[in-house]
Amino acid sequence: MSTAPEIRTYQLRDYRALADFLMSEKAATVALPIDDAGIHAATLKYDHTADPLRFYFVTGRETEKCKLLTELGEVNGACVVGTHIGTPFTLQMRGQFTVLDPSQHKKAVASYYKKRGNRHDDIADPSNALIVFVPKWARFTDYNENYSRYFLKV
């Protein structure tokens, strides 16, 4: 009887190519519940911190993906970075999305604007929400290493 090979676990700082990839990528796909029966997926620009690993997004409060989140303040969901053809990595994550008060997260806001390159999704606009995604589980595929899969310690 054969068993599946053990998947190795890395810290982001120990897998430099993945860390560099996350810095260079601009968008991630997020999936959030919109009600008891539905999930909405969308691609959003992001910024992140490496330690601890957090992803920051801005979206309109009236959007489907933000409807339940605005009501509850936090919801479980998923996030994927690296969904385009030719990407060197795909990072799949499950965790929790939370609405943040931008005035309490000025460093994250400044970093988001720097990476985003413009203020189309202005965090200061009250019709927008600043959202953080905190992964609780993460697995990545390194396409440059024979499609090798690894877990990422989060």
Summarised one tens digit per residue, pLDDT across range 10-28 is 999 999 999 999 999 999 9
Q: What is the number of other CB atoms lying within 10 angstroms of the CB of residue 87? A: 14
21, HSE (Cβ side, Cα atoms, 13 Å): 22
The Cα 5–Cα 28 span in angstroms is 29
pLDDT digits (tens, 9 = 90+) for 100-145: 998 899 888 888 888 876 666 788 888 889 999 999 999 999 999 8
Q: Where are the beta strands (DSSP E) in 12-127?
A: 27-33, 39-45, 47-50, 53-60, 74-81, 89-100
> Are residues 88 and 17 in contact, defined by beta-carbon separation less than 8 angstroms?
yes
Q: Phi and psi at residue 12, in whole multiples of 5°?
A: -55, -40
The Cα 84–Cα 43 span in angstroms is 11
Give the global pTM: 0.91
